[in-house]
Structure 1
Amino acid sequence: MKLITLIFILEILFIPATFAQDWSQFMRDSSHTGNAEDESLQLPLGLVSQIKLDDAVLTSPVIVSGNIYVVDQMGTAYCINAKTFKITWKKSPDKDKAMGSNTSSPCVFKERIYYGTTAGNLQILNTKDGSLIKTVKIGSPIISAITHANGAIYFQAMDSKLRCFDLNGNEKWQWDHYKSYKEPAETTKKNARGRGHPGSYDLPHYGGGEVSVAGKRIITSMGWDIFCLEETSKEPKLIWCRRAPQGRDGAAPMSSSISGDWVYTAGMGADGRLQQMRFSLIDGVRSKKGVKCVPYPWVTPAVRGTAVTTRSLSYLKDGIGLYDCETKKYLGGWKHKTMATPIASSHTLAKEHILLTTLNGEFIAAGIGTKSKEKPFRFLTPNGKGISSSPIISNGQVLFGCDDGYLYILGPNGKQTPVKDHKLTISNRKSAGTSTTKKYGWTSALANPGNTCFIDDSTVEPKLKLRWAVRGFGHFKTPCIATKEGDLISITLQRTVTCREQESGRIRWRRRLPIGTPQLTNSSGLLVANNLLYVPCPAKNGGKFFCLDMKDGSEVWSVAIGSKGIWNRASPVIAEGVVTFSHIPLGRIPRVEGWDAKTGKQLWQVKFNVNSDAPGGSTDGKVFYYSSGREKWGWKPKGDMKRGEVMSIDAKSGKVLMSSVDLFGTGNTFIRGNNLYLQEHAKGLHCINAKTFKPIWKGGSTHVKHFSLGSDFIVTRGYGGRAINFKILDGKATGGAQLGGATHSCGPVSLTPKYSFAITVGGLIVREIGTGKLLWQSPGFAPRGCVNPSISNGRVFWPSAASGVIFCWEPIEKK
């Protein structure tokens, strides 16, 4: 073992170093350390240049031989003279086939620039004039950086294939992981007890992880697996693979860096879980001297020696520090006493500073080592837009892109005044919002005001193809919503709201809510109506309800609200110009509040005499139907409060029309026509008359929470992948047709008249309604399934609960 370690360390020592002024690829070197120990910062920094580009920049720039290269979110590459800061050339090789939200940072080597695109292409351009040398059609979105090492380039696409190309764009080899690797039976048996739920460990999953290289060893991850390959004269050789290294409910590996003979890996898991792991590069064994804290979603850890950038365990008030795994000491960093620091970019290590960018539009340089007591330097970009471009440093100057479409350069001699652009067009739609069928939206978490999870469009047919996939930089506990005009809106558990174009995935705008507060710990469903977006941000110690302008995400109005359970996912409900939401103010009972949808003026509120969670609601356009309740086994009597209650409330006046404490639901209400559906978890599904509250039938199944209402059937789903079909006339099973899958999910299926679209951790499953026949299944989404897909304008959209990726599928065109 000692001999192997010595040989490996010698290999690493002879990796060619770049010049101090060059930063030729993501995180500076092929090991993705982000370590620029030879670069010093002289604070304070000033603005050297603010260079306008055509679109938002989500990638990290590079600088080689006096030229800056950067790629914007639509795959347009730019060359900028590092002395004059003039754009030398720009090229858009994907042309009208371009997709948005590109996060594949470029690398430059021997007068060529290499980068991938969400359109599924590897682009190779001449650095002198931007002329196209070659487009390699991969056929699957590339969302990770291109890595250069060993006279070749490496990358992974969403199809879970690790590829190695020579510098001319010819494929040297391809590692198809799920065809090439089968976990030894004894290993599977040994780890069976530690795995179990949620399943899908041995199934193919989507890829997209970063690729890091040290010497001849290559580290990447996909699905539940992190593995190490070794370059040979012919095909790569598998050295080790660790499947689900944290077991059930643990984090799946996402992105890694390599320092010495250790691999530092950031991962994401269920319900907001994050984890940093440390593996031996030699054999993949987990280190007993691991990383104490956690990463941010989709952030590659910056590392120097045995010290790695990390953050505090809580989303509340976090700090970003440099932690030495061997000495178990913090070496300094950034900390805010009162608020969270929203981050979606990897960090950089200068000689005595950590460099980071934030979704608040800020660059921060915080001292480490001898400068750890130094006051951090902060620079706020002028347009108030977020930053997910990882900063780089070259000759004491810092460079990063921004959502406002500018490239910023800061330096010790910077004298420019930041200029606010009053004519920003980034938030304007670039595409017309085309549909593969007819135009329609999915305007709330469960599709519509009735919460049916049903779209009347039979033309969304399997087989499907992945149109685009992008990083959402967070966990998702609520579905995307969509407009018929072509927008797709999502919110992470960490409260980043993003508006994209359905056709391309291009970001129009995004913002973190609320700003200037500790990080809140849950989210709720979104609602879009009349060009306004309603965003509840519930919190135990005081949350906010926001109304945003769909044009640019600016705030129209906001009001204070209380808390709501993380599992509820209920959207606000709107009718007769009144928008409503249920919540629990601190120390009080649940209530429904109604506000003027345009101004936010409170019009009325209705209190529920229950000690349970805030109710979920629906509407028929005139009346709101809200229900709240708790199971007997989880309920504790308190005064005269009831275990549950359902109400119908006049939308305009807030008058309670009907109320019942005998029949109620423990989740959202569902309405179609005159029938109101209420699920009491342990008792089953009640169908009652919406006007009189008289029972019509009781059926369905017990211990389920999620429902979808088809044309003449109801599909129920609990905590698991299965989905059962019942008749809407009497609630009786239709014969046991399975409309879900075998692995984990905790959200409803989405329906069309012919097909069910069911998310599981093992993939999106499409079945025929009448028979339950499996028609198509996608790769999986380790480590969690969770929320339902959304269907809009002939496409299917879904935010991965724990891998932070947003997917768009569409039907394969029939020949």
Structure 2
Amino acid sequence: MCSRDICLIKGNVVVVPAGGRTLFIEDTGAAPKLKATGEIPDFHGKEYPATFGQSADDDGNVYVQWHRRDNAGRVDIMRLEGDALKTGEFVPGTETNIRMDGLLSFSPVAIRGSEVFRVKPESGRGLIRHDMSTKESKPLSGAGAIAPPVLTKRHAIFGDLNGKLHFAPLDGGKTREHVLSDAPITAPAAVADGIVFVGSEDGRLYRLNPMLKAELVRKAPNSIPTIRSPLTGKLADAKYDWYTNYGNFAGQNSNNQDLKPPLRMRWARRLEGTVKHLPVCGGGRLYTHTAEGQIIAVEQDTGRLLWRRWWPDVYLSFTSPLYIDGKLLIPQAGMKKSFVRCLDAATGNMLWEAPFTGSPSWSRQFPPVVAGKIAIYASGSGDYAPQGSEKPYTFGGEPVKPADGSEVMSFIYSNDNPYYPKNHHPRVWAWDLETGKVVWEKDFYDQGRGGNDCGICILDGKLYYSVFFGYDADQRARRGLPVKNNGLTCCIDPKTGNILWQTNDYYVTAKCTLSARDGKLYIGGFNRAQQGTDDRFVWCLDANTGKLVWKSDAVTSALNVVSVGERFMFSNALRGKGNIFDRETGKVTFSILTNYACCRFTMSEPYVLGANMDMIDLSQDGKLVSTGPAIDSRECLGAVVSNGRIFYTSQASGFVVSQTYGPESKDLPPAWEVRNAKQ
């Protein structure tokens, strides 16, 4: 499957990105002939990477902007020499990963001589010139973009994510910008006879004459954000929305919408961003937040783009939106600043924003929860950098120690957490849903250090909060950190912030939130709960008292969330078993050998949904009953079921797809067939 740009080189060789490889196909006139298959070398992983942008120069060099996982990618160069393909070269200065300062690009590059021009959705580094001969990189514009740059004699022209068209002089002079709209420009401009044409996501085509005066060529026939194809069927009602990362405010990560094979493709679309969290649904729309700061709304029934917004300085924010009463709440974190933003879900217009602190890292995908008219969120404070100051504060690589000796956490840090930096405070904020004004806030600094590895949920009108302070009390003592508590779980009145009960005996152990159902809390995690053991457990607490109801059999880990449905209770383990528990005793009744990585499974009973739309039937002891299409090379995300449809966002490959299921799917063919029938 090819979802990205194709190139023509040497007059008759078509270059196609497909399935994580690059195919060089000769047009012989009578038939295509495969001349070579290019592969990106093992680098930041071994899986086949996705191509987010591809272009070629006059000499037949093919430039591939690829992505494997977690912001890891660069622009590699492939060259066909006879029937042999040369690989391994790359454009200096284009490498990105989670330990380096800088975000990925999602667009093909422009090439002139030894210079490569590249855009990124990153404030301060929107357009960069990479000189192949000197290996120097220089920003020409700070405007974040995903629209490929176009080169003229003297300028690089590109549109940005805030609706401006930029003319960056190639000699390094001052960039001129023209505000065309408040909607992003995501397609390349076209230049003919000194006139520039550019389309906007407001549905309009603009023309700039040689004096660079903008004129409107064509108005949109309809209002772009208006839903034209509303959801239909018995599950179209709002009560069937998957409106938050874990399905509902109790974090149950489960629903029952009569899911059953066969599955049928409804629509597919590109995604110019990365995710490690789930999409959400509400108001007939599907909402996606990319780690680079884009918020995208599409029509749930067809996948048609309704609106897109982008805010600068968002940095690897693996956080989902929340849909509530026509509003969208999104935590957008970054090393420079972090805000929870409240948008009008129908238009994307911002209603309010409120600052918070902390890093989502791998663990805090959840958005705020809402009780009445109060929105509540939890995270940690502290100092962050692309690379941490010591090993427990990093995710591999050599630590970078600040000159002043301060403790700094890598923004995307380790899953193994013996302790946290001294200045990390566990924080909980509550805002008025209508205004964004602070109603109350809590700082649990007296209990321990940490805060980012936490979870929140709501059950029966009460807020539950759980946070991890690290498992190694001896190390904390040597470092002068609080020794007494490895974590905290408490019950809070969401209206006032008053503590109703708290315990330091049971708590999430990082990389997991907490969930609740029928008067019980369920708590898991990745780390051991205390030093001296390698065992991990799921704990079940009485939600009214915080007392232990049961401790599960030992497991290797319980990641992301303990999914609690009407019939089944399930948790995934990193590179291990997925476990199904008896909810009365905590005994593991059976396991499924998924061997997924950190997959964010969801449950739509009796199935759990894994990567590439794997459907695993828990009523048949974990039988795989359906899979595919295989559009992602990683196993980081599962699918969600909402309103009688399946929605899947690939972590690495830049795809969003929707499927229908069961007998009703025969009446819901692929959206492109419906469009063809209307023509």
TM norm structure 1: 0.68
Aligned to 2:614: 765
**Of 529, 536, 546, which aligns to 1:693?**
546
Aligned to 1:671: 516
For the 8 Å contact 2:577–2:592, the answer to whether it is kept is: no
Shift in Å, 1:333: 6.1
For the 8 Å contact 1:333–1:353, the answer to whether it is kept is: no
Query: Kindly tell me: are residues 754 and 416 of structure 1, through their superposed partners in 2, closer, same or farther at Cα, counting changes over 3 Å?
Result: closer
Shift in Å, 1:274: 3.0
Aligned to 2:556: 702
Q: Using the TM superposition, name which of 548-557 and 749-758 deviates more.
A: 749-758
Query: Kindly tell me: are residues 726 and 560 of structure 1, through their superposed partners in 2, closer, same or farther at Cα, counting changes over 3 Å?
Result: same
Aligned to 1:503: 301
1:278 has 2:278 as partner? no
Aligned to 1:374: 173
| Whole-angstrom CA distance in 2 between matches of 1:505 and 1:686 | 40
Query: Kindly tell me: are residues 296 and 640 of structure 1, through their superposed partners in 2, closer, same or farther at Cα, counting changes over 3 Å?
Result: closer
Query: Kindly tell me: are residues 549 and 424 of structure 1, through their superposed partners in 2, closer, same or farther at Cα, counting changes over 3 Å?
Result: farther
Query: Kindly tell me: are residues 540 and 661 of structure 1, through their superposed partners in 2, closer, same or farther at Cα, counting changes over 3 Å?
Result: farther
After TM superposition, the structure 1 = structure 2 runs for residues 286-365 of structure 1, keeping only pairs within 5 Å, are 286-288=87-89, 290-293=91-94, 297-310=105-118, 315=122, 317-326=124-133, 328=135, 334-336=140-142, 341-365=143-167
1:253 has 2:51 as partner? yes
| Whole-angstrom CA distance in 2 between matches of 1:510 and 1:235 | 41
> Which has the higher relative contact order, 1 or 2, with Cα contacts under 8 A spaced 6 or more apart?
1
Aligned to 1:441: 241
Shift in Å, 1:307: 2.9
Aligned to 2:388: none
* Structure 2 counterpart of 1:767, one-letter code: I
Query: Kindly tell me: are residues 490 and 435 of structure 1, through their superposed partners in 2, closer, same or farther at Cα, counting changes over 3 Å?
Result: farther
Shift in Å, 1:748: 3.1
Aligned to 1:736: 591
| Whole-angstrom CA distance in 2 between matches of 1:491 and 1:566 | 15
For the 8 Å contact 1:359–1:512, the answer to whether it is kept is: yes
| Whole-angstrom CA distance in 1 between matches of 2:332 and 2:578 | 30
| Whole-angstrom CA distance in 2 between matches of 1:320 and 1:414 | 20
| Whole-angstrom CA distance in 1 between matches of 2:214 and 2:517 | 60
**Of 348, 356, 359, which aligns to 1:553?**
348
Among all aligned residue pairs of Structure 1 and Structure 2, give the percentage whose two residues are the same amino acid: 23
For the 8 Å contact 1:575–1:621, the answer to whether it is kept is: no
Alignment RMSD (CA, Å): 2.7
Shift in Å, 1:436: 6.6
1:268 has 2:122 as partner? no
Unaligned runs of 5+ in 1: 1-159, 161-206
Query: Kindly tell me: are residues 321 and 651 of structure 1, through their superposed partners in 2, closer, same or farther at Cα, counting changes over 3 Å?
Result: closer
1:471 has 2:471 as partner? no
After TM superposition, the structure 1 = structure 2 runs for residues 150-229 of structure 1, keeping only pairs within 5 Å, are 160=1, 207-214=2-9, 215-229=11-25
Q: Secondary structure at the match of 1:489?
A: strand
**Of 419, 426, 430, which aligns to 1:594?**
430
| Whole-angstrom CA distance in 2 between matches of 1:680 and 1:333 | 42
| Whole-angstrom CA distance in 2 between matches of 1:588 and 1:311 | 35
Could you give the per-residue CA deviations for residues 480-511 of structure 1, whole angstroms, max 9, x where no partner exists? 0012x311111000010011110011122110
Unaligned runs of 5+ in 2: 96-102, 383-422, 529-535, 667-679
| Whole-angstrom CA distance in 2 between matches of 1:457 and 1:693 | 32
**Of 571, 588, 597, which aligns to 2:367?**
571
For the 8 Å contact 2:207–2:217, the answer to whether it is kept is: no
* Structure 1 counterpart of 2:276, one-letter code: K
For the 8 Å contact 2:647–2:658, the answer to whether it is kept is: yes
Shift in Å, 1:290: 3.6
Could you give the per-residue CA deviations for residues 124-180 of structure 1, whole angstroms, max 9, x where no partner exists? xxxxxxxxxxxxxxxxxxxxxxxxxxxxxxxxxxxx2xxxxxxxxxxxxxxxxxxxx
Could you give the per-residue CA deviations for residues 415-434 of structure 1, whole angstroms, max 9, x where no partner exists? 56789999983222222222
| Whole-angstrom CA distance in 2 between matches of 1:521 and 1:769 | 34
1:623 has 2:462 as partner? yes
1:659 has 2:502 as partner? yes
For the 8 Å contact 1:685–1:702, the answer to whether it is kept is: no
Shift in Å, 1:223: 2.7
Could you give the per-residue CA deviations for residues 159-214 of structure 1, whole angstroms, max 9, x where no partner exists? x2xxxxxxxxxxxxxxxxxxxxxxxxxxxxxxxxxxxxxxxxxxxxxx42322122
| Whole-angstrom CA distance in 1 between matches of 2:638 and 2:570 | 13
| Whole-angstrom CA distance in 2 between matches of 1:349 and 1:721 | 50
**Of 439, 451, 465, which aligns to 1:613?**
451
**Of 458, 479, 482, which aligns to 1:640?**
482
| Whole-angstrom CA distance in 1 between matches of 2:218 and 2:4 | 36
1:604 has 2:402 as partner? no
Q: Secondary structure at the match of 1:600?
A: coil
For the 8 Å contact 1:610–1:628, the answer to whether it is kept is: no
Shift in Å, 1:414: 5.1
| Whole-angstrom CA distance in 1 between matches of 2:262 and 2:609 | 12
* Structure 1 counterpart of 2:274, one-letter code: H
* Structure 2 counterpart of 1:708, one-letter code: S
Aligned to 1:749: 601
Shift in Å, 1:222: 2.1
Q: Using the TM superposition, name which of 582-591 and 372-381 deviates more.
A: 582-591
For the 8 Å contact 2:538–2:558, the answer to whether it is kept is: no
Shift in Å, 1:438: 5.0
Query: Kindly tell me: are residues 636 and 569 of structure 1, through their superposed partners in 2, closer, same or farther at Cα, counting changes over 3 Å?
Result: farther
Q: Secondary structure at the match of 2:168?
A: strand
Aligned to 2:193: 395
| Whole-angstrom CA distance in 2 between matches of 1:414 and 1:288 | 39
Could you give the per-residue CA deviations for residues 97-136 of structure 1, whole angstroms, max 9, x where no partner exists? xxxxxxxxxxxxxxxxxxxxxxxxxxxxxxxxxxxxxxxx
* Structure 1 counterpart of 2:168, one-letter code: A
Query: Kindly tell me: are residues 533 and 606 of structure 1, through their superposed partners in 2, closer, same or farther at Cα, counting changes over 3 Å?
Result: same
* Structure 2 counterpart of 1:643, one-letter code: N
Could you give the per-residue CA deviations for residues 669-702 of structure 1, whole angstroms, max 9, x where no partner exists? 1000111011143221000101111111111523
* Structure 1 counterpart of 2:499, one-letter code: V
TM norm structure 2: 0.81
Alignment length (residue pairs): 589
Query: Kindly tell me: are residues 441 and 708 of structure 1, through their superposed partners in 2, closer, same or farther at Cα, counting changes over 3 Å?
Result: same
Could you give the per-residue CA deviations for residues 237-292 of structure 1, whole angstroms, max 9, x where no partner exists? 22222334334526433432222131111112211223111111233322546443
Could you give the per-residue CA deviations for residues 679-736 of structure 1, whole angstroms, max 9, x where no partner exists? 1432210001011111111115232313321223211113347522222222222233
For the 8 Å contact 1:476–1:804, the answer to whether it is kept is: no
* Structure 1 counterpart of 2:451, one-letter code: D
For the 8 Å contact 2:107–2:148, the answer to whether it is kept is: yes
Could you give the per-residue CA deviations for residues 597-634 of structure 1, whole angstroms, max 9, x where no partner exists? 11212111122222123321000141111101144259
1:785 has 2:639 as partner? no
Aligned to 1:24: none
Q: Secondary structure at the match of 2:229?
A: coil
| Whole-angstrom CA distance in 2 between matches of 1:639 and 1:258 | 55
| Whole-angstrom CA distance in 1 between matches of 2:304 and 2:310 | 18
For the 8 Å contact 2:15–2:22, the answer to whether it is kept is: yes
